[in-house]
Structure 1
């Protein structure tokens, strides 16, 4: 396969993460989502869970960004918190492994995670919330800086109303590869993210969480009905 960053540059990444425990939350359905996304022009796929990744890998030729999500009792970090997660994702065929790169209490240091990802032959993607996260991740060896966690940490609370174009621009100024991710819900927002300095754009909910998208439309119609539209 061509270098993953070359394949990602200027393209769309589709995050195939169905609603947890929903009717589409099955490896075979995630694999079908990934195939459909690749057929539609996605340059890469983001997959949560080792079993899902194993189901997807034989069916797509584009790079896969792998993550494991965990709900920990003593840490707010959810994305790929353990070295064992890195090993499992690499063994399942991830080309890129994303991890929580925030400066929060965690079971493994971010530096150790990056080192393990690189030693496994994958690229490290830092899921960040702030410019400081990105700067630290870059120094530790992350190949991709993502705006994934902006608005989802205590430090960035209140930034959850739209795409964080300011953070995209900040990462662009740091140099390296910038991934716009988080609340990119329309084609126009994706295009604007590239214009703000992103090298690639990840879209998830708007493409692969049918329950949520259906809810948006249903709510809009209900509100219009109440207004007498």
Structure 2
């Protein structure tokens, strides 16, 4: 509700329980995910069909899936997983959470409805990357090379960054921790004060 009152046009939320409550409270579109860890697996954003089924119970407008080359449960490739999901739910919109230009291009070719920069800097293959480096170079590269709308996400933690990614041509922007984690907001104030 606070996000809507502040001017948000949509919500990205984790778990069917949270999404269900959000949908009772606001009429904004929801990007749904389920974060779950599996042993021997680096993927944790909507990693298996179990999480897809949970989300379909609450019908978010978009479901985000990790579309990186990171190791998936039972060694299933993102290609096979997405094909299976799309066959079962052909009318559902899906967002690819990517961490590199190559992953974004691949997700675009697979037919994801939205391409996200969600995991830039958060995977082994992208640990050297920063979304804002060289005036959002990675985002600009992705925008040039994919056909589907790009959602800028991941370390977009200031109003200035949010504005800039939209100026560059992103379809929309997801702001996460800078809004949703009061403990991190408080910590940034406390750390600055400690320098006195």
Query: By the TM > 0.5 criterion, same fold?
Result: yes
1:111 aligns with 2:82: no
Q: Which among 124, 132, 135 is matched to residue 163 of structure 1?
A: 132
The 8 Å contact of residues 97 and 117 in structure 1, kept in 2 or not, is answered as no
Cross-structure match for 1:25: none
| TM-score under structure 2 length normalisation | 0.90
RMSD: 1.6
**1:126 alignment partner, SS class:** strand
Cross-structure match for 1:144: 114
**Structure 1 residues 105 and 83: CA distance shift in structure 2, 3 A:** same
**2:95 alignment partner, SS class:** strand
1:22-68 per-position Cα deviation (integer Å, ceiling 9, x unaligned): xxxxxxxxxxxxx2112222111000111111111222211100001
The 8 Å contact of residues 70 and 80 in structure 1, kept in 2 or not, is answered as yes
Shift of 1:158: 2.4
Cross-structure match for 2:48: 82
Matches of 2:77 and 2:19, distance apart in 1: 24
**Structure 1 residues 64 and 118: CA distance shift in structure 2, 3 A:** farther
**1:201 alignment partner, SS class:** strand
Shift of 1:118: 6.6
Matches of 2:143 and 2:40, distance apart in 1: 33
The 8 Å contact of residues 118 and 124 in structure 1, kept in 2 or not, is answered as no
Number of residue equivalences = 189
Q: Which has the higher contact order (CA 8 A, sep 6+)?
A: 1
Gaps of 5+ in 2: none
Question: Residues 169-184 of structure 1: matches in 2 within 5 Å?
Answer: 169-173=140-144, 174-184=146-156
**Deviating more after overlay: 39-48 vs 151-160:** 151-160
- Runs of 4+ aligned structure 1 residues displaced above 6 Å come to none
Cross-structure match for 2:29: 63
Gaps of 5+ in 1: 1-34
**Structure 1 residues 112 and 39: CA distance shift in structure 2, 3 A:** farther
| TM-score under structure 1 length normalisation | 0.78
Shift of 1:113: 3.8
Matches of 1:112 and 1:66, distance apart in 2: 21
Cross-structure match for 1:205: 177
Matches of 1:137 and 1:78, distance apart in 2: 17
